[in-house]
């Protein structure tokens, strides 16, 4: 019975608890990103009696800092499905738990080429939960340090052959959706069907405004997944083992200590003090255990 209760608690954590950590991460990233936007937009310092500066460039900034793994790179807004998230650099699970992740082997959003972004559908605040509801022509707005860019969702044949859809389905390791010979577009992808990592749901959208200048993304050797496979969406993070083991052991110790105190001292005071400590420790243990799983949806 206790094992069953733990499993139910973990399922509840996956569906709702993961969103708490993601919300905190998004608040932090939004503050950082807004600060970067303000810095880019800030007027240059003037020097008395200095010559007049040249006219500002008509193109978006092209000398931006190189984004590192986990850095905010853009804000994505999709009004039709209520999406408003900060996009991070990288698609490893450790970054996707903070928000949608940009595939670093593709151009940055707003730049020329096929910019690809991955996100969860059922956990970690589920940024792409409803992308299956997008219709051809729906608007997607990207805000980066280079400006604001508008995309329109492309039409795809319905699997049944009857009508058109705003999405299509591919295999879990299909990397053709990252190809760069498709014009200026945005590619969104997530696990499919919901609560499964068997396939990928994909939405593509065409850039309808001018692209920004291409900028360097630096050394991608630590960011690009093996063979650039999109199956990294379902990969576990082995680096979570120490935290998972240590926090699980601590939660078990606290629970045993609470049980022992209840038997040898006073039942209700012991549980009133010990139970919150156990749940807080379990929350952080579950965070690490979730990172270990071979599929996070």
Residue that is last in its domain, among 203, 228, 253: 228
Q: What element of type H or E holds 87? A: strand 83-89
Is the domain of 17 the same as that of 131?
Answer: yes
Domain boundary among 175, 196, 228: 228
152 and 205 fall within a common domain: yes
> Are 30 and 107 contained in the same domain?
yes
Binned at pLDDT 50, 70 and 90, residue 163 comes out as confident
pLDDT tens for 267-289 read: 778 888 888 888 889 887 877 88
Q: Which pLDDT belongs to residue 124? A: 92
Q: Whole-angstrom Cα distance, residue 18 to residue 15?
A: 7
- Binned at pLDDT 50, 70 and 90, residue 260 comes out as confident
Residues 248 and 222 in one domain: no
Q: Which of 99, 111, 106, 166 is CA-nearest to residue 139?
A: 166
Does 49 map to a domain?
A: no
Please say which residue of 175, 194, 228 terminates a domain.
228
**Same structural domain for residues 114 and 243?**
no
Enclosing domain of residue 256: 239-292
Whether residue 25 sits in one domain with residue 99: yes
Same-domain check for residues 27 and 174: yes
pLDDT of residue 221: 64
| CA-wise closest residue to 216 among 87, 76, 73, 37 | 73
Structural domains counted in the chain: 2
- Residue 1 pLDDT: 67
Could you tell me how many residues make up the chain? 297
Average pLDDT over all residues of the chain: 85
CB 296 within 8 A of CB 119: no
Q: What CATH number does the domain containing 152 carry?
A: 2.40.260.10
Token pair for 250? 């601590």
- Give residue-wise pLDDT tens across range 180-229: 999 999 999 999 998 888 899 999 999 998 999 999 887 776 666 544 44
- Which segment, 32-36, 55-59, 292-296, is predicted with the most confidence on average? 32-36
Same domain, 156 and 33: yes
- Between 224 and 12, the higher pLDDT residue: 12
For 235-259, what is each residue's pLDDT tens digit? 666 778 888 889 899 888 988 788 8
């Amino acid at each position: 019975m206790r094992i069953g209760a733990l499993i139910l608690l973990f399922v509840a954590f996956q569906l709702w608890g993961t969103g708490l950590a993601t919300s905190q991460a998004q608040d932090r990233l939004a503050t950082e990103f807004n600060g970067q936007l303000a810095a880019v937009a800030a007027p240059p310092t003037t020097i008395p009696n200095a010559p007049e500066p040249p006219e500002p460039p008509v193109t978006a900034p092209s000398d931006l800092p190189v984004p590192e793994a986990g850095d905010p790179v853009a804000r994505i807004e999709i009004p039709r499905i209520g999406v408003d998230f900060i996009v991070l650099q990288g698609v490893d699970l450790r970054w996707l738990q903070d928000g949608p992740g940009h595939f670093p082997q593709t151009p940055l959003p707003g730049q020329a080429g096929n910019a690809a972004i991955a996100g969860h559908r059922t956990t970690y605040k589920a940024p792409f939960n409803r992308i299956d509801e997008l219709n051809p022509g729906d608007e997607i707005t990207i805000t980066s340090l280079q400006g604001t860019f508008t995309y329109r969702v492309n039409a795809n044949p319905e699997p049944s052959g009857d009508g058109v859809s705003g999405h299509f389905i591919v295999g879990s390791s299909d990397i053709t959706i990252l190809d760069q010979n498709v014009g200026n577009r945005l590619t969104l992808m997530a696990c499919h069907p919901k609560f499964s990592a068997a396939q990928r749901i994909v939405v593509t959208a065409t850039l309808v405004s001018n692209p920004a200048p291409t900028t360097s993304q630096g050394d991608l050797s630590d960011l690009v997944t093996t063979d650039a496979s999109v199956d990294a969406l379902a990969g576990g993070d082995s680096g979570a083992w120490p935290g998972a083991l240590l926090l699980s052991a601590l939660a078990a110790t606290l629970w045993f200590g609470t049980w022992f105190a209840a038997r040898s001292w006073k039942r209700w005071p012991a549980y009133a003090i010990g139970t919150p400590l156990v749940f807080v420790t379990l929350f952080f243990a579950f965070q690490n255990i979730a990172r270990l799983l071979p599929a996070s949806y």
